[in-house]
Amino acid sequence: MITQITTDDFSLGYSPEKIYLTSDLHLFHINIIKYCNRPFEYSAEGCTKMNEFILKKFDALPEDCLIWNFGDVFLNLRLGNDRIMQDIMRMKKNRKLCLILGNHDFRARKKPFPNYIEYFKYLGFDEVFKGPLQFGNYIFSHEPVFLEKDSDLVNFHGHTHEKMVSEDYFLNEYNKSFPHKKVNPKQYKNICMDANDFQILKWEDIIKACGYDYV
């Protein structure tokens, strides 16, 4: 089910040049180095260096901006909330953080919080959504969402890491939620760190480069 959001819900009062999108940081997740061939040693030390490398990308952002994270923030069930919160607050500083929960985020140990929305707000996110969300002609989601080829919609998504949505993406046997039909890859924009050379994407640059409208 797609939740409709308004321009104000999306921007929280920030202009396009102060809005950033990213996804699938996988902080503290040593195996992501192997799975996605990230350029770090496959070891605890390599994972620490990966975390620091990613956090420095956030350090370089403007102090006053809005960051949308499309899910899979971290994965390490042995870590305490204090340690996780330390890195999230480093990303946040004086900024606003919005999160669309990813599949791995639902594996976090949320107790004693009643749900994952409250848990991730406790960790430092200002707004948390289960998603997908629709803002104008844009669908924001963790996993790609099926779009008809004749649709005017564009899906900004995470989840696929370095892989782009292909025409046959929804034809695979693991697709239990959407029609088994071909799609138009041009309607999908992968914002994962692994697909964008670990860059956090500026909303203004995306809409200009792709010829999209702000709303």
Using CA atoms, how far apart are residues 112 and 211, in angstroms rounded to an integer?
45
Residue 156 has pLDDT above 60, yes or no: yes
Residue 116 has pLDDT above 80, yes or no: yes
C-alpha 205 chain-centroid distance? 17
Question: Residue range 76-103: average pLDDT?
Answer: 93
- What domains lie within the chain, and their CATH numbers? 3-210 (3.60.21.10)
pLDDT at 111: 87
Residue 209, class by beta-carbon neighbours within 10 Å (0-12 exposed, 13-18 middle, 19+ buried)?
A: exposed
Using CA atoms, how far apart are residues 79 and 212, in angstroms rounded to an integer?
40
Give, as one character, the DSSP assignment of residue 65: -
- Return all residues near 135 (Cβ < 8 A) that are at least 6 apart: 5, 6, 7, 9, 10, 215
Residue 134, class by beta-carbon neighbours within 10 Å (0-12 exposed, 13-18 middle, 19+ buried)?
A: middle
Using CA atoms, how far apart are residues 96 and 84, in angstroms rounded to an integer?
17
Helix and strand tally (H, E) in the chain?
A: 6, 10
% of the chain residues with pLDDT over 70: 97
Q: Do residues 67 and 80 touch, judged by C-beta distance below 8 A?
A: no
Q: Do residues 46 and 30 touch, judged by C-beta distance below 8 A?
A: yes
pLDDT at 60: 97
Residue with tokens 């924009």: 189
**Residue-wise pLDDT tens digits, 119-135:** 999 999 999 999 899 98
Residue 215 has pLDDT above 70, yes or no: no
pLDDT band at 86 (very low <50, low <70, confident <90, very high): very high
